Every structure is written in C-alpha cells, then in structure tokens.
Amino acid sequence: MEKSLSTNYKMYKSGKRWITASLITGVVSMGMFAGSQIANADSVSATPVSAAPVSATPVSAAPVSAAPVSATPVSEAPVSEAPVSATRVSEAPVSEASVSATPVNAAPVSEASVNAAPVSATRVSATQSRLKDSSAFTNVTPDNFEDYFTSNGSAKYDKPSGTVTITPDENDKVGSFSLDSKIDMSSSFTLSGSVNLGSHTQQNGGADGIGFAFHNGNTTDLGNAGGNLGIGGLQDAIGFKLDTYHNDYRVPQTSTAGAEIANTDSNGYGWDTDPSKSDYPQFGSFVTTSDQQIKAKDGNNYQRWWATTDTNSAQKLDDADLDGKFHKFVVAYDGDSRTLTINYTQTDGSILTWSKIIPDTYKAMALTVSASTGGSKNLQQFKLDSFEFTQAATVNVKYVDTTGKQIAQGLVNYPNKPAVNGTYSTEQLDIPGYKFVKMDDGSATGNPSISPNGTLTDPGDNGTVVYVYAAYTQATQTVNETIHYVDQQGQTVSADHSATPINFVTVTNPVDQSTKTYVSTTASSATLDDNGVPTGIDWQEATNGKFSAVMNPTIAGYHVISTTDPANDLTTTTEQTVNGNSQDLEFTVVYAPNETPSSETPSSETPSSETPSSETPSSETPSSETP
C-alpha cells in the first residue's frame, strides 16, 4: 500500500502557555485521516489508532514520558481541519513526547485534563466555537435547571421530566420561573422545549395563558398577573404570550404607582385590551411595555409599565391546541441580526412562526416565564429540552422603604457593555413622598447593598444595589365650625351656620424629624413630592387657619340674650383661630322674645269716693284702775 505523511505545526495558547501542535496527514490507498495533537517537534509517528473512545484521566505535574500521547485541542485554540472538542491541559512542560495521530470520533466529552494514555478527540459544537468568553456560555438541561432558574408562586419543577407546572388546574393561582442571570444579547441563544396550555378553552372555563418576557429590570422582578400575563409591570419588556383568555380594558383600581402594587393584584394594576375576541379567541403575539401615566379609578394618573399587545403580530391558536398535551415551542435569537424567532407547533402539525428585531439598545435582558388563573383555570406547563445562552455580567438595583418593600423601579447603566471587567452605575432616584436615607446595611432587605457604582467581576449576577428610603409622614386634621341659633327652650330659631372646613397637613421629615404644616380649605388630602411638600396649589405653608366672624341673624320678635363664644359678643360670633391640633368648634347663640307693652287700661288715680268711717275714735282716757 502506498502511504505518505506530512506534518504541519501550529502554536496554540493554553492558559498562560503556548503549546506547539502538529497536523499529521496520512494518505493511504484506503483514504485519509487527520488529527490535531499537542507535542514538541522532536518525534512524530503515524501509527493509526482505532476509533474506540478512551476516557481521559487527569495529568500529573511531572513531565510526560515518551509514551505516545493523543490530545484534544484547547478551547481557546483555533479548530483544525477536523472539528474537535477541547480539553484542558496542565501547565507542566511536555518533554519530548511523541504524538500519534488518531481518527476523530463524534462523541462530545467534558472538559478534562490529559495524561499520557491515548485519548480520543471530540468535536466542538458550532455554538461553542463562536464564544468570546467560554466561562459565560451556559447550557441548561433538565438536570441542572434549578441551578439557573428560580421558581415563584405556584410554579413547581419536576426534575425527572424537566417540567415546570406553572399553575395547577386550580382557580386563583399565579406562578413563574425566572432566569437568575441576564442574557448577553450580543450572542445567540436557543430555548427549546414544549408548552401545555391546558385542556379548557375560554368557553369551557379556561384561562389565562403563558407569557415569556425579556426585560431590562432586575432578574428578580415579577410581572403583573392576570390580563398582563406576567409581562405588564416589567421595565422595557419585549414579551411574547400564548393567550387563552380574552380581556377587555381594565381601569386600574389602585391609586398608587405601579411599583408599589403586588404582582398578584391584577385588578389594582389594570391592563390593556386584547385583539378582537371573535377573531382571536386564543392567540399568540408579541407584547411590549412602556412607561406611562394611566388614569385610575379615582380619576388621577399613576405610573405604570403598561403592556400593549402587538395586534399586527397576533396569530390565532386553534381550539384543538388546548388538548392538555405538550406542543413543541422554540425561542431562537440570532445575535448577529438581533432577530428573535418563536415557533409553536399546533396539534395538526403546522408551525406558527413569529419574528421580531430586538433594538441594539438592549444589551442584557432578564427572562421570566409566567402564567396565572382566576375565576377560570387551566393546567399550564413548560417542559425544557435545552437552553443555551451566554451570561452577561450584571447587577440588580432596588429602591425600598425601611421595611424592604419596593417603592420604585430603576435601571442599571453599563457605560461599556455588561461583561466581565466592564463597569456599572446606578442612581439615587427622587421618589414622591420619600426621602433617601442610606444604602442598605442589611436592616431593610436582609442583605447589605453592593457599591452603587463599580466593576463587574464575574459572568452572571454580580450582586444588588439597594437604596433605602423613608416615607415622609403626614398627620391630617380637619377642623369644622358650627353655630347653632336657638330659643330659651333649645328650639331652633334659625338654621345652623357651618363654615368651610379648614384642613391641616403636618409633614414630618424622616431624617431629622423636623415638621412643617400646610393649610387648605379646598383639599382634604395631600400628595407629597420628593421633598415632602404637598403638590398643587391647594396647600399653603402655615401654622394656623382662621374662621371669619359671623353676624348673628336677625329674627323678628327675638333678640340675643347669650352666646357660648368666649368673646360674649351678642351681635357676632367672633373670628376664630385654629391649628392642626384644634378640635371642632361649636357655638350656641340663644334668643329670647322681645318685651311688648301691656293691653290693660291704666287706672285714673282719682280720689276714692268712699265715705270716711263713722266710728268714733276712742277717747283713750286713762285707765281707772288704781295702781
């Protein structure tokens, strides 16, 4: 048999060392084989080796003897003419080792060290060969799912089957699972699995569907449930939903900013309308969120990350798709074109496809998958096959009160890119009704804050920045003045006078405990800005308020005889000064009938006509009694 050998040498970097590798090509009448090996240039043999794979064992620190050694290329090195997978080589020098060329097998092997025994080479996947940072590349499987995802609410993971039951077939359940790190959007990723939307259509009591959200918020953030399908409430979200329940527009019922509303309170948060129910009884579509001021039930506007369905992307799902079975579901993203593509396989085997370009402003995105039920219900599940992605290096940022309750949402800035050795920055927000107190020392959330600005050291989550705020407290007091007008028997002789109430709000600074008082006769409650000052023109800073003097009404035939006004003015209830500690004022003015002249005729006072008595006065002679 005719046989020829040629040897080419290349330099590859392994860790901090450069290693010489040869490409040995042997041409035999039967064909050609090729391999990439690590060796020096002193001795090369071309003995063929069978293709049976041999497991690798760790290499010792001692120099390798002259026994033939086959090696797999290092992950950082270029791939040779025959694609092979990489194993890590120790940094000990290799002495005059001869290398035998071995055919390549196709079975992948894990990263391992190499000893002097011959080992088979393995093929590098196309995905891995494109990695810029192999330590950030992540392959999630059913076996390691719980190392990378956190389940929330009703969601439960079954490892043997790789299935997350997001909601059981029960009413009023909210569940989700979230990726613990953000996805590097400069790299491609693929999430492959299946979804089970349940077995009930809306007409048969089924709801609500499953939402997939990529967003700029924290990896721990949860979207609002119900009609929002876990997407509404997330910052700058680009989501996709398989919606099995039609919702009309819902006005927010809660009069507060969205960040302070529980993710389970869908009625409080409100939601946008879905596409036509007749055209799309159940459907798949993209959903995005934007920062909006939404009018609530009380007529005022409040901040919301409002979710809006992209009706142009809506595609109807068949009733038959709600068959209680798993349907193939794949989310694929191309990092070069920044195209997000979603495929859903229907019961009849047809594949529905959605595509969307992700703007390049999205550098790293969190992922959460959510489902919920209400008065209607369904068993809703996701079954994982695999998820391959590259972790970005990021931090979370939270804004909480002194009890750890979230009061606002914010974003992290990455001046360079969200990658190892990059930097991050956050900012202190002005939050209406609150004053910044400190960075969390652990007393608010249980974990101390990392620096608000810094350097990213690891792929994945690098920690959480926590800003702690205290609420301005406000004490409200309304003072009323009422004046009663009655007669001496307590009967009303004129309608009561009720003055316009005077309202006081006393605001306490949470840092130095100083107070300021504000007065209004047109508003009874106050909304404070971030400096603790009531908003609007209704409130004026003052310590006192005054009720004007009130003239007593004139009542025919009556006059005032008394009043409980301390000034004791019988013509007027005098001006009254009150403050935030005053109680309601109540005065009583008493009236009595006026005096009228008598109707009897007065006497003429003429001399009496009576005749003087005829009786003779006694002589008053002295007594005849003898002493």
Per-residue model confidence as pLDDT tens digits over 359-374: 999 999 999 999 999 9
* 369, part of any domain: yes
Tell me, yes or no, whether 441 and 487 share the same domain: no
pLDDT of 597:
66
pLDDT at 623 (0 to 100): 43
CA dist 429 to 189, 308, 426, Å? Answer: 34, 26, 9
Report if residue 623 sits inside a domain. Answer: no
Asked, for residue 546, whether it belongs to a domain, the answer is yes
Q: What is the pLDDT of residues 67-104, one digit of tens each?
A: 343 433 433 334 333 333 333 333 333 333 333 333 33
Do 188 and 309 lie in one domain? The reply is yes
Residues 51 and 198 grouped into a single domain: no
* 297 and 364 part of one domain: yes
Domain count, the chain: 4
> What is the chain's alpha carbon radius of gyration, rounded to the nearest angstrom?
44
* Reported pTM: 0.67
Same domain, 196 and 335: yes
* Encoded tokens for 511: 């840092």
First to last CA, the chain: 202
What's 181's domain CATH number?
Answer: 2.60.120.200
Cβ-count burial of 302 within 10 angstroms (0-12 exposed, 13-18 middle, 19+ buried)?
A: buried
Predicted confidence (pLDDT) per residue in 593-604, tens digit:
998 766 555 544
Same domain, 446 and 466: yes
Are 217 and 350 part of one and the same domain? yes
Domain boundary among the residues 345, 366, 390 is at 390
Same domain, 422 and 383: no
* Domain that residue 405 falls in: 394-471
- Token pair belonging to 267: 């009625």
**pLDDT value at 522 more than 60:** yes
Q: CATH number, domain at 568?
A: 2.60.40.4300
Residues 231 and 347 in one domain: yes
Residue 298 lies in a domain: yes
**pLDDT tens string 10-22:** 444 444 344 444 4
Burial annotation 342-372 (CB, 10 A radius, 16+ → b, else e)? bebbeeeeeebebebebeeebbbbbbbbbbb
Q: Could you tell me if 445 and 354 lie in one domain?
A: no
Whether residues 95 and 198 share a domain: the answer is no
Whether 430 is covered by a domain: the verdict is yes
Instruction: Report the C-alpha gap between 314 and 291 in whole angstroms.
Output: 23
Could you tell me whether strands 189-196 and 327-334 are parallel, antiparallel, or unpaired per DSSP bridges? antiparallel
The answer on 544 and 504 residing in a single domain is yes
User: Is there a domain that residue 528 lies in?
Assistant: yes
- What are the contacts of 580-585 at 24+ separation with CB within 8 A? 580/475, 580/477, 580/504, 580/505, 580/506, 580/517, 580/543, 581/477, 582/477, 582/479, 583/479, 584/479, 584/480, 584/481, 584/482, 585/479, 585/480, 585/481, 585/482, 585/547
Give domain status of residue 200, yes or no: yes
Give tens-digit pLDDT for 195-216.
999 999 999 999 999 999 999 9
Q: Please report, for the domain that includes residue 439, its CATH number.
A: 3.10.20.320
The alpha carbon dihedral of 464, 290, 536, 519 has a sign of negative
> How far from the centroid of its chain's Cα atoms is residue 517's Cα?
34
